[in-house]
A and B are shown apart, each in its own frame.
Chain A
C-alpha cells in the first residue's frame, strides 16, 4: 500500500513510518498517538524536554517496548518487534549512551561480535577469522572516514568519540536501515562531539537514515534536516531545519504560551 502510494506520488518510500503510536504506563500516557516518518538519507532530530516521551517513542521503534496502540512500518511493511534483537535483525540499530560494546575487546572483535566469520584451522576445527575481520573493519572504518590508529587495542583504551565511532561502524557494516542515536554527544568533549556529528553527515551520505535524540539544540541544527518536537507525550510540531530557529524550538518544547504571553 505504501509502495503504491510512493509510486503514485513519486516520493521515495520512508525507511520508517509510525502511525498513532501510543504507550501507557498505568495512568500515564507516555507517548500519545504519534505519527512520524523518516526518509532514506535524512537526519531527523527528536527533541523535547525531560519526560516528553522521546525515549519511550524510541524504545518502541527499537523493540524494547511494545506499543499499546499504533503501527510501525519499515520500508513500507508493517512490523511488530518482540525484542530489540529482532529489531536489529530487521535493520534498526540503536546506539545507546552506554554503547553496548565490550570494553575488553578490540574494535574488530566488537564490530563482529556475535557474527564472527570463521575459517578452517588444523583441518577440522573452525577458528575465528581474525584476518578477515581486521580487513573488513579497516575498510568500513575508512569508508566512514574514522581513524583508529591501532585496531588491536582494547576499546577501553580509546576515547569516547572513537568508541562511539566503532559502535556506528558496526551498525553500518551490518546494513543498518535506520540508525537511532540517543544523546550521542552527551559524554564527549568538544572536538569529539564534532567528530561524531561529522559521522552523522557521513551516514546521511551513505543513505542511512538517522534519528538523533539530543538535548543540545546546536547539535540538532548542525546535523538534522528536520526536527520533531515532543511535549507531554504528543508530537507538537515538525519543522524543516531551514524554516525554524532555536527560539522557536525552545518555545515549542516548553509550551507555546511563552511566545503568546
Chain B
C-alpha cells in the first residue's frame, strides 16, 4: 500500500527521464544512466540512515560532516599504511577506520537524545559543528589526497566490462585492450551503484522485516505507546543515530575511493539533499511514515534533475531551485492526498 501510494513519485521520475531524453542529447544512454547511478550512490547511502531516523520522528543534521570526518579519517589511515600493503587490505583499513570514527558521533548523538532527552534537532546541530571542526582540524583544513595505486578503480570501476570482440569480462577490462580501443569497452554496473544497491537491500530488509524496523515505525508513530508496550526505546534510539552516522561514514569511505581524497566538507552539500530525498520519498518529518524504496526514488529524482540540467547546459545554480521546488511539491502532494483520504 505504502509503495503504491508513491505512484506519483514514480510517474514524476518517468516524466523527468522522458523529458530529458527528448531534450538532452546523450541523456538516455547506457553510459549516462550509469553515471547517474554512480553519482547518486553516495547521496543515497547517506539517505538510507536518515530514512530510519526521520521515520522515528527524529532528524540527523550531522550526517554531512560525519561523512566528511569519516572520509578524513579513512584517508589518514590508508595513507599511513606501509608501502607495499596489498590493495584489499588498504581498502578494508580505510573502511574500518572511517566507519569506526564515523560511528562515534552517532553514539554520542543517540546517548544524548535517548538519555538526556535533548531534542534531536539541537543535538545533531551541535554535532554538525563538532564533526565539522574535528574534520578540518584533523585534515589541517585541506583535502587529503589518497594517491594509492588502484584505489580509484574501486570507486570508479565497473563490475563487468563488455568489449564487442571478446564479450564480458569481470572487474577488469579485457586484457590486451589498450589505447584507443579502450573507448569501445563498455562498463556495466559501476561499483558505487553496486555498493549502494547492496546497502539499499539490507536497509529495506531491516526496515520492513526486522523487529528493529517495526519498532522504528512505532517510536515515530507514538513514542509513549512504544514505551508502554515495553519497547526499549532508549536503546533503539541510540542504534538509530548510530545507523545514520554509520551510513554517512560509509558514504565518506566511498568518497575516498571515488575521488581519491578525503575532505572534511565532502558531505556538506549532501546533508540537505539526503533529507530532501527522504522527504520526496514520502517520509513524514513528524515520524511514522516512510520507506526505503521511497528514499531511492527521491534520490533518483534529485540525481536525474541535476544530471539532466547539466546536459541541457543550464546554469548549474538552477539545480538548487529545481530540487527546492520538488521538495515543496512533494509535501504538497502528500498533504493533498491525506485530505482526499480523510
Interfacial residues, chain A to chain B (CB-CB below 8 A):
84-85, 88, 98-105, 109, 113-116, 118, 121, 125-128, 152-153, 157
Please pick, from B213, B224, B226, B288, the residue contacting A114 in the complex, using a CB distance under 8 A: B226
B322 within 8 A of A: no
Q: State how many angstroms separate the Cβ of A169 from the closest Cβ of chain B.
A: 14
Alpha-carbon separation in the docked complex, A153 to B224 (Å): 21
Query: Contact between B218 and A105 (Cβ–Cβ < 8 Å)?
Result: yes
Given A88-B228, A113-B218, 11 other A-B contacts at CB below 8 A?
A85-B230, A101-B222, A101-B225, A102-B226, A105-B221, A113-B226, A115-B229, A127-B205, A127-B209, A152-B1, A153-B1
Query: Contact between B205 and A102 (Cβ–Cβ < 8 Å)?
Result: no
B210 within 8 A of A: yes
Best-buried of B221, B231, B288, B341 by chain A (most CB within 10 Å): B221
What is the interface of chain A mostly: helix, strand, loop, or mixed?
A: loop
Please pick, from B210, B217, B341, the residue contacting A105 in the complex, using a CB distance under 8 A: B217
- Considering only residues 217-260 of chain B, those with a C-beta below 8 Å from chain A are 217-218, 220-222, 224-226, 228-231
Query: Contact between A109 and B214 (Cβ–Cβ < 8 Å)?
Result: yes
Query: Contact between A102 and B221 (Cβ–Cβ < 8 Å)?
Result: yes
With A101-B225, A104-B221 as given contacts, are A125 and B210 in contact (CB-CB < 8 Å)?
yes
What is the interface of chain B mostly: helix, strand, loop, or mixed?
A: helix
Number of B residues near A (Cβ < 8 Å) is 24
Q: State how many angstroms separate the Cβ of B4 from the closest Cβ of chain A.
A: 12
For A103, list chain B residues within 8 Å (CB): 221-222, 288
Please pick, from A101, A116, A125, the residue contacting B214 in the complex, using a CB distance under 8 A: A116
For B228, list chain A residues within 8 Å (CB): 84-85, 88, 100
Please pick, from B1, B211, B288, the residue contacting A102 in the complex, using a CB distance under 8 A: B288
B289 within 8 A of A: yes
For A127, list chain B residues within 8 Å (CB): 205, 209-210
User: What is the chain A residue whose CB lies nearest that of B2?
Assistant: A154
For A126, list chain B residues within 8 Å (CB): 210-211
A to B CB contacts below 8 Å, 11 in the list: A100-B222, A100-B224, A100-B225, A101-B222, A105-B217, A105-B221, A109-B218, A114-B215, A114-B218, A114-B230, A126-B210
Alpha-carbon separation in the docked complex, A100 to B341 (Å): 23
For A152, list chain B residues within 8 Å (CB): 1
Please pick, from A84, A104, A116, A118, the residue contacting B220 in the complex, using a CB distance under 8 A: A104
Query: Contact between B289 and A102 (Cβ–Cβ < 8 Å)?
Result: no
User: What is the chain B residue whose CB lies nearest that of A98?
Assistant: B224
Q: State how many angstroms separate the Cβ of B6 from the closest Cβ of chain A.
A: 16
